[in-house]
Amino acid sequence: MRKTRLICLLALAVSLSFGQELLTNGDFEQDLSIGWTFTDSGAGTHTYDRATDYHPDPDYEAHTYQYDNPGWARLGQTVECPPPCNLRLDFTAKFEQIGGTSSCWPAACFSVCYLDENDNVLGETRYYYSTYATWTPSPTFSLYQVTDPDWTEYTLETMTELEEKLTGVDPEEIAKIEVALYSYTYSG
């Protein structure tokens, strides 16, 4: 049995360094059709929703779910990010995974993709919770393995990330970012 689920409380503040909010419905208080796009791999069972009972607070949180066979489910939003992409991203997340083996494993992720003006992915920062994931970081792929799956606050400063971890990404080429809840199942 391979299940993965990501529940993310996003008082998700993606803002320019001077504090301007960039996401539409970043707190999930409106229906997810407002500001967010759901995509999936077509294989397996995929769901997404929002509810007030994932976290002890009374606000809404969103989650994605992927089950059965290899595949993925992604709830994301792309926003303009004028160069040099100096953003601060604050979010609180709870990551869940159930089951898996070294040859068939789930991962719950929160992803930030850096895109050019034609929506080509220049690089990615991925927070992930998985016992068996075999991803490897590179100059265009930064990984943060989550060791505490319970509700935790995270902060990502994009300029620091680009300077220290994503050295293969030219900040001047970034025109947009995509933030996404990403549930993934690998079968090798």
* CATH tag, 2-187: 2.60.120
Residues 6+ apart with CB under 8 A from 89: 12, 13, 14, 112, 154, 155, 156, 157, 158, 179
Q: Contact at 8 Å (CB) between 141 and 128?
A: no
Q: What pLDDT, on a 0 to 100 scale, did the predictor assign at position 13?
A: 46
Q: What is the pLDDT along the chain (188 residues), one digit of tens a residue?
A: 445 544 443 444 454 444 667 888 888 889 999 999 999 987 778 888 898 888 788 888 888 888 777 888 899 999 998 788 888 888 888 888 877 878 888 888 999 999 999 999 999 999 999 888 999 999 999 999 999 888 888 999 999 999 999 999 999 999 999 999 988 888 86
The predicted pLDDT at position 11 comes to 42
Residue 122: the pLDDT is: 98
By C-alpha distance, which of 144, 119, 120 is closest to 130? 144
User: Hey, where are the domains in the chain?
Assistant: 2-187
pLDDT of residue 3: 52
Total-model pTM: 0.89
Pairing of strands 71-80, 176-187: antiparallel
Q: What is the pLDDT of residue 1?
A: 41
Tokens at 182, concatenated? 């990403």
Answer for the pair 82, 88: CB distance below 8 angstroms, yes or no.
Answer: no
User: What's the pLDDT score for residue 128?
Assistant: 94
